[in-house]
């Protein structure tokens, strides 16, 4: 069983379209994340949800809207796609802080988004 699974793995779409990426984790973690990896391999956090509550919202355009129906799912919807949105998007999950310990932090295999 895949611990953190994302769909689709590849997504090619035209500028201006709206698309969604789905993520599910079966690790029982209570925190989920979206990271964006650009062409230079730089990984940057976009959003973090803890038990369906938005915790981190980095400087991301409003066209990006995360949705967490339950703590095992975190989807990413992108409106009016632009060329610069082309990247690999990674979902991750972890167990939230218990005191000063951090558990987990497992990544999915990524969704390669290409906007043409």
Partner 1 sequence: GESVGLHLPTLSVQEGDNSIINCAYSNSASDYFIWYKQESGKGPQFIIDIRSNMDKRQGQRVTVLLNKTVKHLSLQIAATQPGDSAVYFCAEKWEYGNKLVFGAGTILRVKS
Shortest Å distance, C-beta 11 to partner 1: 15
Please state the separation of Cα 80 from the chain's center in Å: 18
In angstroms, the CA 104 to CA 100 distance is: 13
Place of tokens 């989807």: 75
Residues between 52 and 71 that touch partner 1 (CB under 8 A): 55-56
Place of tokens 């964006």: 36
Shortest Å distance, C-beta 71 to partner 1: 14
Does residue 106 interact with partner 1 by CB under 8 A?
A: yes
By beta-carbon proximity to partner 1, the closer residue of 75 and 111 is: 111
Does residue 12 interact with partner 1 by CB under 8 A?
A: no
Shortest Å distance, C-beta 70 to partner 1: 19
In angstroms, the CA 32 to CA 71 distance is: 8
Does residue 15 interact with partner 1 by CB under 8 A?
A: no
Q: Which of 9, 19, 10, 5 is nearest to 73 (CA)?
A: 5
Does residue 108 interact with partner 1 by CB under 8 A?
A: yes
In angstroms, the CA 113 to CA 8 distance is: 9
The angle at the Cα of 46, spanning 32 to 104, to the nearest 5 degrees, equals 30
By beta-carbon proximity to partner 1, the closer residue of 36 and 81 is: 36
Which residues form the interface with partner 1 (CB under 8 A)? 4, 31, 35, 40-45, 48, 50, 55-56, 90, 92, 94, 96-97, 100, 102, 105-110
């Amino acid at each position: 069983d895949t611990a953190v699974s994302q769909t689709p793995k590849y997504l090619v779409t035209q500028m201006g379209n709206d698309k969604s990426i789905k993520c599910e984790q079966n690790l029982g973690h209570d925190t989920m994340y979206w990271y964006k990896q650009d062409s230079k391999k730089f990984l940057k956090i976009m959003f973090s949800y803890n038990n369906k509550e938005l915790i981190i919202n980095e400087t991301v355009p409003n066209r990006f809207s995360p949705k967490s129906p339950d703590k095992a799912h975190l989807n990413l919807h992108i409106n009016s796609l632009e060329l610069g949105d082309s990247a690999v998007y990674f979902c991750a999950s972890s167990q939230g802080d218990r005191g000063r310990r951090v558990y987990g932090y497992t990544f999915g295999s990524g969704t390669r988004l290409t906007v043409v």
